[in-house]
Structure 1
């Protein structure tokens, strides 16, 4: 059936006609709609005169969806940066504040760790003395040593987490600085220097 004859037949009633491409690549006109498995390929809706009322674009491919998702995430990150900072120097100042804060809490944790090690060392000396004199080591001494060892493990984990946080902050602020320079000045990341 030709398109002209089909359209002439459709003029009797005001119906919509769907135009799509089927699996074999043939253009199909159908008044019942597009088969569900072909909707993602895109289609057009025509009026009874053969004019396009609306077009439905093909669904994006997996790669295109991923690219669009990445672009949306980058746009959100860029908007966040522009809300936080008006100049690259503000990123530098924020970085210094954050690193100073992390250095401070890390210093406190390292100081506490040294104090715990000194206490544990004193108790170990006392334990060795009692054993050398063939005396029983009191349970309270053993418990104190156990508590100090557990405290030491926690402090060591804290010191390590502060070190990791400092490294992450340096990377994050460097990245933010480079991106902000691009957003504010149109520079390419290769041209941004500290």
Structure 2
């Protein structure tokens, strides 16, 4: 015969076991054929992106996992995030449109200085080439062959002029890009400051 304490312990354990057991969850999702499925096993990996619901043992929805965004939505979200980061950076750099104007002027003066230096170097290279060609002409007028070293120096000056012209063109392009970029920054900053008012 069982002792009363053992009977009470057995009854208590019988009552507590269901409460201690983990709650059973059901997963509701739509399969590839468009059929709604209830499963205790979970959602197949290839269907997780479509979204699903988690239900408790009474059939109540306790969690909704939305579908993954489409490629277009993902692109839009990434663009919005990038725009927000850009706006934050813009507000950190400039407190007013006048700040943008001052930064623009500094950048344009810097680029104009670089263009001026490169143009001066180009003019110097052209002058050196003209002097070297004059020397070569003196050799030819005297009926002598132009030394190879002199011809190499002329070619070197021509190469230097091409390099300098590319550099000038690049600086001018950077200047144009800076004009456009600062104009866009000024306009966007104006919009952001208007929203804050």
Q: Write out aligned runs for 1:31-110 (5 A).
A: 31-110=40-119
TM-aligned CA deviation for residue 154 of structure 1: 1.3
**Residue in structure 1 matched with residue 10 of structure 2 by the alignment:** none
Quick check: 1:157 aligned with 2:166? Answer: yes
Q: Write out aligned runs for 1:5-24 (5 A).
A: 14-24=23-33
TM-aligned CA deviation for residue 51 of structure 1: 2.0
Once residues 156 and 13 of structure 1 are traced to their aligned partners in structure 2, the CA distance between those partners, rounded to angstroms, is 76
* TM-score normalised by the chain length of structure 2: 0.84
**Residue in structure 1 matched with residue 190 of structure 2 by the alignment:** 181
Once residues 136 and 113 of structure 1 are traced to their aligned partners in structure 2, the CA distance between those partners, rounded to angstroms, is 28
Shift in CA distance, 13/170, structure 1 to aligned 2, threshold 3 Å: closer
Once residues 124 and 31 of structure 1 are traced to their aligned partners in structure 2, the CA distance between those partners, rounded to angstroms, is 90
Once residues 28 and 67 of structure 2 are traced to their aligned partners in structure 1, the CA distance between those partners, rounded to angstroms, is 13
**Structure 1 regions of 5+ residues with no counterpart?**
1-11, 188-194
**Residue in structure 2 matched with residue 119 of structure 1 by the alignment:** 128
Once residues 165 and 128 of structure 1 are traced to their aligned partners in structure 2, the CA distance between those partners, rounded to angstroms, is 40
- Structure of higher CA gyration radius: 2
TM-aligned CA deviation for residue 26 of structure 1: 2.7
**Residue in structure 2 matched with residue 25 of structure 1 by the alignment:** 34
TM-aligned CA deviation for residue 50 of structure 1: 1.4
Q: Deviations over 1:130-181 (max 9, x none)?
A: 1122112123312221221221121111101101100110111011111111
* TM-score normalised by the chain length of structure 1: 0.86
Once residues 131 and 99 of structure 1 are traced to their aligned partners in structure 2, the CA distance between those partners, rounded to angstroms, is 47
Measured on the aligned residues, the alpha-carbon RMSD in Å equals 1.8
